[in-house]
Every structure is written in structure tokens, then in C-alpha cells.
Amino acid sequence: EIVLTQSPDTLSLSPGEGATLSCRANQGIRNYLAWYQQKPGQAPRLLIYDASIRATGIPARFSGSGSGTDFTLTISSLESEDFAVYYCQQRSNFIAFGQGTRLE
């Protein structure tokens, strides 16, 4: 079973700062990794797929990188609407999510 571990659990930053969120898999998953943003009371929104491809309509300040077991979501300059919970997700024998990182 492939397990995704996100770090940190909580990241405290201010608008204008850069954010770096990590997602680590316990086995190699090539580049089959997606990132989502979820705000309170809303469904998750797809940000990144295939580790580094921005989904339609996602601002350029969001970028993804990594391959194999270590992945990163970077937000270059935080805007107020970016404070949310972020999840990574992989596909293997079945689909699973990381536990989430709260950006506050």
C-alpha cells in the first residue's frame, strides 16, 4: 500500500511570503501526483496534476515539482485567498490522499 505523508501539518505564513509544501510517498509513484486546495465548506479544487502541470485556470504562482517519492507544491507569493488546506493525491492500486497541510 502506498502512503502519502504531507509536511508540515500546519504552515503559518503571511501574505506576500512564499510557501513550500511537501508530499512524500513511501514507494515510487513516478509523476502520478495531484495537488488540491480546499477552503472551508467547499469541495477540493484541482491545482496540479502529473506533479507539475497546472490545471485550467490555476494562477502561475502555483507550481509543482518532484518525481518518484518526493514532491513539492510551491506558492511563490501568497495572496489572501491562498490560505486553505492542501492535499496531495496519488494513484496506485487504488487512489489515496495525503493527510493535508493547513496553510494559515
Partner 1 sequence: QVQLQESGPGLLKPSQTLSLTCNVSGSSMTTDSYYWSWIRQPAGKGLEWIGRIFSSGNTNYNPSLKSRVTMSIDASKSHFSLKVTSVTAADTAVYFCARNNYYFFDSWGPGSLVTVSS
Minimum CB separation of residue 101 from partner 1 in Å reads 11
Other CB atoms within a 10 A radius of the CB of residue 53 amount to 12
Q: Which is nearer to partner 1, 14 or 42 (CB)?
A: 42
Query: Which one, 13 or 46, has the nearer CB to partner 1?
Result: 46
Residues at the contact surface with partner 1, assessed by CB under 8 A: 32, 34, 36, 42-46, 49, 55, 87, 89-91, 94-100
